[in-house]
Chains A and B, each alone.
Chain A
Amino acid sequence: EPEVTQTPSHQVTQMGQEVILRCVPISNHLYFYWYRQILGQKVEFLVSFYNNEISEKSEIFDDQFSVERPDGSNFTLKIRSTKLEDSAMYFCASIRGQTETQYFGPGTRLLVL
């Protein structure tokens, strides 16, 4: 069964450093998402992406964040200059169409020191 994959599973970085989180959505899916979950809190929407552009972004998704689909398979989230409060689990999700189920990857746990 096809699934969303994410790399790395864990990343530790120093405050102020850039990080790139990678996702490979399910191959025939058209809509892509990033969410994050700060430890012990609920899952929060960051950004959605369709047809090579951002569809919607939350207040969390400020100028430090960017997304890209550099080729036909990868979907990346870049944090330009990490802050301590960026420490969280980051989930990628994808769907085929607007009424479909969002399928989530296993997440990348980011720790900013």
Chain B
Amino acid sequence: AQSVAQPEDQVNVAEGNPLTVKCTYSVSGNPYLFWYVQYPNRGLQFLLKYITGDNLVKGSYGFEAEFNKSQTSFHLKKPSALVSDSALYFCAVTLGGGGNKLTFGTGTQLKVEL
């Protein structure tokens, strides 16, 4: 079985400050890890993914995430937050092969304030 934990329901940060949204995962094998963002009444937009290779992956809109195998974590980061980054962020995990279903975390609401 695979699972994802996002321990924070909400993260508040001031514009211009760095942000971190936490994610830990559990799978029995090598994980493929993803971050998606959801704006109100919208679908899920892909931000970035880790499949293999460099542990630091860079994605859309200046976001990056670091894969840490020993801590089974894949935290999302951005050096300088924007008000427009305010949205719901989902971490997801899958194992390659088969139907490749994604298992999502419960989501973290990011609020960036002026």
Residues of A within 8 A of B (CB): 31, 33, 35, 41-45, 48, 50, 55-56, 58, 91, 93, 95, 98-99, 101-107
**A106 & B42 in contact (Cβ 8 Å cutoff):** yes
Q: Which of A33, A35, A101, A107 contacts B34 (CB 8 A)?
A: A101
State whether A99 touches B102 (Cβ < 8 A). no
Distance in angstroms from B96 CB to nearest chain A CB is: 5
Inter-subunit contact B42/A45 (CB<8 Å): no
Query: Which B residues are CB-close (under 8 A) to A107?
Result: 42-43
Contact call B100/A95, Cβ cutoff below 8 A: yes
Query: Per-position contact with A for B38-73: 1 when CB-CB < 8 Å, else 0?
Result: 000011111001010000000000000000000000
| B107 with A42: CB separation less than 8 A | yes
Residues of B within 8 Å of A101, CB to CB, are 34, 46, 49
Query: With the chains together, A104 CA to B90 CA distance in Å?
Result: 13
Q: Mark B87-105, 1 if CB is under 8 A from A, else 0.
A: 0001010001111111111
Given contacts A42-B90, A45-B101, contact A98 B43 (CB under 8 A): no
| The 8 nearest A-B residue pairs measured at CB | A48-B99, A55-B99, A56-B99, A106-B43, A104-B44, A43-B104, A45-B101, A42-B106
A44 touches B104 (CB 8 A): yes
User: Are the CB atoms of B36 and A48 closer together than 8 Å?
Assistant: no
